[in-house]
Amino acid sequence: MITLDDLLSEIRACRACEGEIPEPRPVVQAAPQAKVRIVGQAPGTRVHASGRPFTDPSGDRLRTWLGIDEGLFYDPDFLAITPMGFCFPGLDAKGGDKPPRPRCARLWQAHLDAKLKEVEMIFLIGGYAQKFFLGDRYKGSVTETVAAWREYAPRIIPLPHPSWRNNAWIKRHPWFENELIPMVQRNMKLLRD
Q: Looking at residues 44-56, what average pLDDT do you find?
A: 94
| Whether pLDDT at 154 is above 90 | yes
pLDDT at site 119: 98
Amino acid letter, 44: G
Q: The sheet that has 36-39: what strands, in order across it?
A: 79-81, 36-39, 121-125, 156-159
Q: Peptide bond before 43: cis, by omega within 30 degrees of 0? A: no
pLDDT at site 3: 98
Q: Report CA-CA distances (Å) from 90 to 23, 45, 94, 126, 157.
A: 9, 8, 11, 18, 27
pLDDT at site 14: 97
Judge: domain 27-192, CATH 3.40.470.10.
Answer: yes
| Whether pLDDT at 1 is above 90 | no
In sequence order, what are the residues at sequence separation of 6 or more whose Cβ sits closer than 8 angstroms to the Cβ of residue 160? Answer: 125, 126, 142, 143, 146, 166, 169, 170, 176
Give the 3-state secondary structure percentages of the chain, helix then strand then coil, rounded to 5: 50, 10, 40
Could you tell me the residue ranges of all domains in the chain? 27-192
Residue percentage of the chain with pLDDT more than 90: 97
For residues 40 and 17, what is the distance between their CA atoms, to the nearest angstrom?
A: 18
pLDDT digits over 4-23, tens only? 999 999 999 999 999 999 99
pLDDT at site 79: 98
Give the predicted TM-score (pTM) of the model.
0.97
pLDDT at site 91: 95
| Whether pLDDT at 193 is above 90 | no
pLDDT at site 45: 92
Residue percentage of the chain with pLDDT more than 70: 100
pLDDT at site 126: 97
pLDDT at site 68: 98
pLDDT digits over 57-110, tens only? 999 999 999 999 999 999 999 999 999 999 999 999 999 899 999 999 999 999
